[in-house]
Amino acid sequence: MKKFLFISLLLILSCNDNDCGDIVDKYERDGKYFFTLIRGNSNNNNSEGGGQAEVIRETYESFKIGEEYCLS
């Protein structure tokens, strides 16, 4: 659980308005919905990153694995 919180915190702190990533996994835990994202080099940099993003149920159901999701 600590690892999950740490990764989530890193993702939140490193976000900007255009952070997008490909959904590589979707899961539900304790009534909350999450995407696991991998961010490629869409911002013209060569670094990859990613993490988990908590989403609402409607968002969870409207995206499929492999689609791009952007954090707002």
This prediction has a pTM of 0.65
User: Any idea where the domains of the chain sit in the sequence?
Assistant: 2-70
Measuring CA to CA, which residue among 69, 29, 31, 30 is closest to residue 51? 69
The predicted-structure confidence for 20-47, as pLDDT tens digits, reads as follows: 899 999 999 999 999 999 986 555 454 5
Query: Distance (Å, rounded) from C-alpha 37 to C-alpha 23?
Result: 5
Q: Could you tell me if residue 24 is left (phi over 0), alpha (psi between -120 and 50 degrees) or otherwise beta?
A: alpha
pLDDT of residue 44: 46
pLDDT score at 50: 79
